Chain A
Amino acid sequence: MVPKDLLYTSEHEWVKVENSVATVGITNHAQNALGDIVFVDLPDVDKEFAKGDEAIALESAKAAASIYAPVTGKITEVNNDLDDDPALVNNDCYAGGWMFKISINDEADLAGLMDAGTYEDFLKSQD
C-alpha cells in the first residue's frame, strides 16, 4: 500500500504538495530495490532546478542512483538528518526519510504525476 495523500513519479519518487512547495522522497519500492542507503548527496538550499534535472545522488552500499526534480523551482530546505543517518530513507521512507523541498514555479508541472492508485497500477505493470 502506498500513502494516498502523495503524488508519484515514474522514477519512484513521492511528492507532497503544500503551499506551493513540493516535499520529495523515494517510495518503499525504490528503497527496497536500492538496498541500504549509505549516503545522500543533498543539494544546496536556494539552488534552482528545472523539472527532470538530477537533484540528488543517492548511494546504496552497492550502487548509485539519481533523484530528479519533479518540478521546476528552487530548493527551500533539505533534510540534514540524512547526513548522519541515511538509513532513514530505508526505515521511514515516507516521513523521516524525506530529502528536499522545492518551490513550485508552475503548478502545471504537477500534471504528469501519478496519484496513489495510478502508481500502484504502475508498480504492478513493472513486475
Chain B
Amino acid sequence: MAATEDSLLRTPLYDRHIALGAKVVEFGGWAMPVQYPTGIVAEHLATRKTTGLFDISHMGRFAVRGAGAVEFLQHVLTNNCQALDVGLAQYTIIPNETGGAIDDAYLYRFVADEFLLVVNAANRLKDWAHLQEQLAKFDDVEMTDRTNEIVMLSLQGPTSRAILEEVIEAGPMPEPARNSLCEVTINAATVKVGRTGYTGEPLCFELFIPRDAGEGLWDLLIAKGATPVGLGGRDTLRLEAAMPLYGHEFGLDGEGNEIPICAVPLAKFAVSFSPLKGDFIGKAALGWQYEALKKIMRRDTSLIADLPRKIAPVALAGRGVARAGAKVTHDGKHVGYITSGTMVPLWGSQGVGLSSRQTDEHQLRSICLAYIDSDIYENQPLTVDIRDKTVPAVTVKYHMRSEAPPFARPIIHDFQLPAAPLPTGPAKVKHLLDKALANTVWRQRECINLIPSEMTISPMARLLSVMDPAGRYAEHKKSKAFYDADIFYYQGTGFIDEVERTLEAEMLDYLGCAEAETRLISGQMANATVFSAMVDYINRTDRKIEQRRMRQVMNNHIGKGGHLSSQPMGALRDFVSRDPRTERPAVVNFPVLPENQYKIDVPAALKLIDEYRPELIILGKSMVLHTEPVAEIRQFLTAANIDSVVMYDMAHVLGLIGPHFQMPFEEGADLVTGSTHKTFFGTQRGVIGGRFTEDQERYELWEAVRRRTFPGAVSNHHLGTMVGLLMSVYEMNHFKEEYQPKVIANAKAFAKALADTGLNVAGDSEISYTQTHQVIIHVGYAHGPEIAERLEANNIICNYQACPDEESFTASGALRMGVSEMTRFGMGQDDFKTLAGLIHDVIADNADVTDKVKSLRSNFTELQFCFSENEYEGVLQKLHKLL
C-alpha cells in the first residue's frame, strides 16, 4: 500500500492504528486504517460474534445551537428534528432542491440546547459550505465544526453492551432502544453515548469523547475485548445490513444521474412531511418521490416516472462477486447496476428459532445492493454481468435481521426451515388422545407450574365449562324501550341468563364497583373494548364526523412490564392518535425509579400527567412486583381538576383484589379490566368493572363499554366457560380471605429463599422483593431463554422475561415466576423454600432435579380453595355421565 502523505488528516488515534499494524489508506482526505493484520473477514466476523471497535473520528461533526436552530435544521434536513426529545437521535438526510442527497447524516440531541450533526468524512467540507450558505438566511443560529475536538468511537456487537457496562464509572446506560442517548463517565472523562451504528448490530453504541481522552478509551475498550475494525470491515458490515453509503447508494448513479432520496429504502425513516417542517429544501421533489414510492409499494406503477429506480438488496445465486458498476438484467432487459457488492462472511448457525446458536465455523456469501427498476419486487430473478460472465442473482428483502438481540441474524435467501412432521392417517386420532393424556399428567401431576398468568381451574368449574350451554348462543342487549331489560335474540337461554346475571352480581361484589361486563372472553379483549368505548364516548356528540381517536394515552412501557395489550403494538393501536410532533402514537410512558425500575416514579408521573393531560391513564403490568399508585393519581387528578379516565388493567392481580394487596375502586380507579385466570380462579375469560352510576355523566362511557362489548367485540360469548367462571367466582368470594394472604406470603418467602441461595432476585429486599404473586430473578443477560428451557427439562415451568434495561425478549436476562397456581394446590412457605433450592441447583450447578421436582409435586395434586363437600357428589356423577 502506498505510504500516507503528510498532507492527509490524521485522527487522534492515528498512532494507535500504526502501532497495531494497520494498513492505512486515504479516505475522504484522512489517513485511515482499512484493515488491521487479521484482515477484513476476521474483523467482520469478530463484530458479529463479539465486538468491533471503529475509529470514526474522521466523520464530520457540526454542533448547532441557538434559538433558531430548530427552524434551520427543519429547513436543511429531511427528517423532523422536533420529534427529537433530549436523549434521542435520528437518521436524516441533507437534501438538495431536486430531491437528491448532498449527504446522509445522523442528528443527535444529547442536551436541550444543542444538536450535533454527524456527516460523512468525504462530504464534510461540501456539507459545511452548503449549510453555511443556508445559515445566512436564519437568525440566532450558530454552527461550529467540532470534528477536531471530539474523538468518535463505534462499539458494535453482541458483547458491546457488557463491555460498555464494565467500563462505565458513573451514569446510566442509554435506554434499551435504538437511537437513545445518555452521558456517562469512563476513565474519568465525560463520554456521550448513543445507541447508533453502521453495522446492523442490534447492540450498538457510538461514543463521543473529548480529544484528549480518546487514546485512553480506545486502549481500555481493546483491553476489555473489543477487536479493532478498519474501513474495509465497516463497509462489508454495512453492506450486509443493507445500509446505504454515500457515493454508492446516494449521490450519482452509474450513468451520472442523481439518485432520488426516496430510492433508498432507509430514507422512508429519514424523510418527514410534518407541517412542523415548513417549506424545507427539496420538499416538492421529495413529495413527488414519496407519492410514487407509496404507489410502487402497493404495486401500482402509474407514478413510476417520479421514482424509476430503487436501491434493492440482491443476492448472487451463482458464483462470483458483483462489484459496483456491474450491469443488471431482468427478463433480458437492462434494468440497472450494482451499487455495492462483495463476498461477506457469516457465522454458521445451529438449531432453530430462539435456541439457534452461532457455530465457530464461517462461510462466505456474495451479496450486493443494486439500483434497479422500481417495479422489480422481491424474489425476482436477475442476472449480473461479471467480466465476461452472466451470473444469476435474485432480489431479496434483506440480507440480515437486527430485531433479535444480542446477535444480528444473517438471512440466506433460499434457506428453508426444517419441517416438523405432523400426524396423519388413521392413527392420528389415537395419537391426539394419547398426547392429551400424557400432557395432562405431565403438567398436572409431575410439573411445578410457576407461570404467573396461569391457573388450574377446579373440577367443578372444569365440568361446568363443557356442559350445556357450551357451544350455544345467547346474544342479548339491554333495551331502553323496555326500561333496560335484557332482550335475548335466541330461545333456550333461560339458564345462561340467570348465570350471567349471577356472575355480574358476584363480580360486583368481588370488585367493589357499580357495573361489571362479563361477556368478554379474554383480558386483551376487555382492554380493546375499553379503548373502543373511549373512542365511542369521545365522539358521542357528533356521529357524522370521522370518529377521532384518543389524543393522548399514558401507560406502562412494555419494556418496564406494561401489558402488551395496552401498547400501540397491541390492542391500543387503532384507538390512539399520532402525536403531530413526534409522528408516533401519542402515548407517554410512566417514568420508573432509577433504583427500582419495577416501580413507578410517582412525582415524575404526576408531572407528566399535568403536561400531557392524557384522556386515558392505563395502570397495570404483566411483570408486576408492586401495587400501582392509583390513590396518588386520583388525588392529583382531583386537585388539578384533570379529567382523565383512570383504567387499571389488573389481569395479573385480579385475584389479589382486597386488603392484602389493593382495592382499586376505593383508591379511585374508574375502570378495572382483567383476565379471570391468572391469580383469579379461572376459567379463561375477561372482565371489565366500572365505578360509574347511572346518575353520572360518565355513565355514558359505561354504556359505550356495553355497546363495544356486544355487538362490538363478541357475538357468541362462549357460554360454557361463563358457567365455569360463575363457579370460580363463588370459590373466590368464599375463599379469598385465606387464599390472598397466602399467595403474597408464599411469594415473599419464595423470593427470599431464592435470594438466600445466592440467586439475583429483582426488587426491593426491604419488602421481601414483591407485593404480588410474582418473583423475578436475573439470570444473566440473554440467558433467560436457555435457563427457562433447562428448568422445563427439570419439570419446572416458568417463562423468560426481558428486564427493564434489556432490548428485547430475545435478549431476556430474567425469569418470571408466580406462586398462585401452586399455592392453590396447597404449597406453603416451606415448600417454596425447598423449590428455591432445586431452582438454584438447576441454574447454578446445571443439576438434574427432575425426580425431586416430581416428588415435591406429588404432595400437591389436590386443588384447594374449591368446594368438595359430599353433598355435591350425586349431581356431579350425573353431569359426568352426560358428557
Q: Do A and B come from one complex?
A: yes
Residues from chain B with Cβ under 8 Å of A61 in the complex: 39-41, 44, 232, 236, 342-344
> Which of B1, B236, B342 has most A Cβ within 10 Å?
B342
Residues of A near B343 (CB, < 8 A) are 38-39, 59, 61
Task: Report A45-89 residues with CB < 8 Å from chain B CB.
Answer: 57, 59-62, 64, 83, 86-87
Chain A residues in 8 Å Cβ range of B319: 39, 41, 83
Q: With an 8 A cutoff between CB atoms, is A115 at the interface?
A: no
A39 to B320, CA, bound (A): 7
B90 vs chain A, min Cβ distance (A): 31
Whether A35 and B364, one on each chain, are in contact in the complex, defined by CB atoms closer than 8 angstroms, is no
Given contacts A57-B387, A62-B34, A64-B323, contact A39 B40 (CB under 8 A): no
B339–chain A nearest beta-carbon distance, Å: 16
Does A90 have its Cβ within 8 Å of any Cβ on chain B?
A: yes
Flag whether A33 is at the interface (Cβ < 8 A).
Answer: yes
Tell whether, in the assembled complex, residue B35 and residue A35 are in contact, meaning their CB atoms are under 8 Å apart. yes
A62, A87, A90: which has the most chain B beta carbons within 10 Å? A62
B232 close to A38 (CB less than 8 A): no
**Chain B residues with CB under 8 A of A33:** 1
- Flag if A87 contacts B41 (CB, 8 Å): yes
Interface residues of A in 2-51 (CB under 8 A from B): 33, 35-36, 38-39, 41
CB neighbours (8 Å) of A64 from chain B are: 321, 323
Docked CA distance A83–B23 (Å): 27
Instruction: Tell me the bound Cα distance from A60 to B34 in angstroms.
Output: 13
Q: Which of A35, A59, A83, A86 contacts B39 (CB 8 A)?
A: A35
- CA of A33 to CA of B320, assembled, Å: 21
CA distance A46 to B364 in the complex (A): 28
Q: How far is the CA of A87 from the CA of B40 in the complex (A)?
A: 12
Quick one: CB contact mask for B359-382 with A, threshold 8 Å, 1 for yes? Answer: 000001010000000000000000
Chain B residues within an 8 Å CB radius of A57: 387
B317 shortest CB reach to chain A, Å: 14
* Beta-carbon nearest neighbor of A54 in chain B: B387
The interface residues of chain A lying within 8 Å CB-to-CB of B323 are 64
Q: Which of chain A's residues 74-121 have a Cβ closer than 8 Å to chain B? A: 83, 86-87, 90
Residues on B with beta carbons closer than 8 Å to the beta carbon of A62: 34-35, 40, 232, 235, 342
**Is chain B's binding surface mostly helix, strand, loop or mixed?**
mixed
Q: Beta-carbon contacts of B380-391 to A below 8 Å, as 1s and 0s?
A: 000000010000
Which of B1, B35, B39, B235 has its CB near the most chain A CB atoms (within 10 A)?
A: B39
CA distance A60 to B233 in the complex (A): 12
Give, as a whole number of angstroms, the nearest-CB distance from B202 to chain A. 23
Given A59-B343, A61-B39, are A38 and B34 neighbors across the interface (CB < 8 Å)? no
Decide if B41 touches A36 in the complex (CB within 8 Å).
yes
Find chain A residues with CB under 8 A from B41 CB.
Answer: 36, 38, 61, 87
User: Does A59 contact B321, Cβ atoms closer than 8 Å?
Assistant: yes
Contact check, B342 vs A41: say whether CB atoms are below 8 A apart: no
Which residues of B have CB within 8 Å of A86? 364
A35–B25 CA distance with the chains assembled, in angstroms: 13
Bound complex: CA A112 to CA B44 (Å): 40
A110 to B854, CA, bound (A): 80
In angstroms, how far is the closest chain A Cβ from the Cβ of B199? 15
Closest-CB distance, B234 to chain A (whole angstroms):
11
Residue of chain A at shortest CB distance from B366: A39
B787 nearest CB across to chain A (Å): 37
Q: State how many angstroms separate the Cβ of A74 from the closest Cβ of chain B.
A: 19
Q: Write out, one digit per residue, whether chain B residues 31-55 have a CB within 8 A of any chain A CB (1) or not (0).
A: 0001100011110100000000000
Given the known inter-chain contacts A61-B41, A90-B39, please indicate yes or no for A38 contacting B342, CB distance below 8 A: yes
Residue from A36, A59, A83, A90 whose CB has the most chain B CB atoms within 10 Å = A36
Closest A residue to B235 using CB positions: A62
CB-nearest residue of chain A relative to B44? A61
Alpha-carbon gap, A64 to B1, bound state (A): 15
- Beta-carbon contact of A36 and B39 below 8 Å: yes
Contacts of B342 in A (CB 8 A): 38, 59, 61-62
Interface residues of B in 308-346 (CB under 8 A from A): 319-321, 323, 342-345
Smallest beta-carbon distance B37→chain A, Å:
9
Docked complex Cα distance between A38 and B321 (Å): 9
A106 to B723 alpha-carbon distance, docked (Å): 98
Residue of A with least CB distance to B343: A38
Write out the residue numbers on chain A whose beta carbons fall within 8 Å of the beta carbon of B345. Answer: 38
- Cβ–Cβ < 8 Å partners of B40 in chain A: 35-36, 60-62
Q: Chain B's nearest CB lies how many Å from the CB of A87?
A: 7
Task: Tell me which of B23, B44, B232, B320 contacts A41 (CB under 8 A).
Answer: B320
**Complex: A36 Cα to B46 Cα, angstroms:** 15
Contacts of A39 in B (CB 8 A): 319-321, 343, 364, 366
Known: A61-B40, A62-B40, A90-B39. A35 touches B320 (CB 8 A): no
**Chain A residue nearest to B38 in the complex (CB):** A36
Which residue of B has the minimal Cβ distance to A87?
B41
A83–B387 Cα gap in the complex (Å)? 18
Task: Give the docked Cα–Cα distance between A33 and B23 (Å).
Answer: 9
A59 — which chain B residues lie within 8 A by C-beta? 321, 342-343
Would you give the shortest CB distance from B399 to chain A, in whole angstroms?
Answer: 15
Q: Which residues from 663 to 722 on chain B have a C-beta closer than 8 Å to any C-beta of chain A?
A: none
Give the most central of B23, B41, B344: most A CB within 10 Å: B41
**Please, which residues of chain B bring their CB within 8 A of the CB of A87?**
41
Q: In the complex, A58 Cα to B343 Cα: how many Å? A: 12
* Residues in A neighbouring B321, C-beta threshold 8 A: 38-39, 59, 64
Chain A min CB distance to B248 (Å): 14
Most buried by B among A35, A87, A90: A35
A35 contacts across to B, CB distance below 8 A: 23, 34-35, 39-40, 232
**Closest Cβ of chain B: how far from A24's Cβ, in Å?**
19
Q: How far is the CA of A87 from the CA of B45 in the complex (A)?
A: 14
Tell me the bound Cα distance from A62 to B239 in angstroms. 12
Chain A residue at minimal CB-CB distance from B3: A127
- Complex CA gap A35/B39 in Å reads 6
Compute how far the CA of A61 lies from the CA of B39 in the bound complex, rounded to whole angstroms: 9
CB-CB nearest in chain B for A64: B323
Chain A residues closer than 8 Å to B387, beta-carbon distance: 41, 57
Question: Does A38 contact B364, Cβ atoms closer than 8 Å?
Answer: yes
CB distance from B341 to the nearest CB of A (A): 10
Expressed in whole angstroms, the minimum distance between the Cβ of A81 and any Cβ of chain B is 14
Would you give the shortest CB distance from B374 to chain A, in whole angstroms? Answer: 29
The 8 residue pairs across chains A and B that have the minimum distance between CB atoms: A38-B343, A61-B40, A59-B321, A36-B41, A36-B39, A39-B321, A36-B40, A62-B232
A-B contact pairs, 9 of them (CB 8 A): A36-B39, A36-B42, A38-B343, A38-B345, A39-B319, A39-B321, A57-B387, A61-B40, A62-B235
A contact residues vs B (CB 8 Å cutoff):
33, 35-36, 38-39, 41, 57, 59-62, 64, 83, 86-87, 90
List 15 extra interface pairs beyond A38-B345, A62-B232, A62-B235, CB under 8 A: A35-B34, A35-B39, A36-B42, A38-B321, A38-B343, A39-B321, A57-B387, A61-B40, A61-B41, A61-B44, A61-B343, A61-B344, A62-B35, A62-B40, A86-B364
